[in-house]
Amino acid sequence: MDHAILLARIFGPLYIIIALWVLLRTDHVTNVLATIKTNQTLLYLGGTINLLLGLVILALYSTWSWHLVVILTIIGWAQLIRGILVFFAPQVFV
């Protein structure tokens, strides 16, 4: 299976579910984000997860081309940068 298809099958539903959760359960999202901002452990756990997801995406698929799948590369870099920022500039997220 092509890596782009594999990543799309994994992260497509993940991002759709998260988007629906944000849209439909705004009150819970607000509470979760408030908790994360006050708990450094959760903040760093989230940063680690973002870093890991970004690295997985970029390890499996890091291609800059003018195809729709370039979105995977952009998502990978965005998650990697966000994960790094949590460790070196956590005040950005607090």
Tens digit of pLDDT for each residue in 17-36? 999 999 999 999 999 989 98
Give whole-number Cα distances, 23 to 29, 58, 80, in Å.
9, 28, 25
Distance CA(45)–CA(56), nearest Å, equals 16
Across the chain, mean pLDDT equals 87
Kindly report the pTM of this predicted structure: 0.72
Hey, where are the domains in the chain? 3-92
| pLDDT tens track for 27-79 | 999 999 899 889 999 999 999 999 999 998 888 887 777 777 788 888 889 99
For residue 94, what pLDDT band results from cuts at 50, 70 and 90? low
Hey, what are 47's tokens? 């940063």
pLDDT for position 48: 94
| Alpha carbons within 13 A on the beta-carbon side of 55 | 8
Q: What is the DSSP letter of 68?
A: T
Cβ contact 68:82 at 8 Å: no
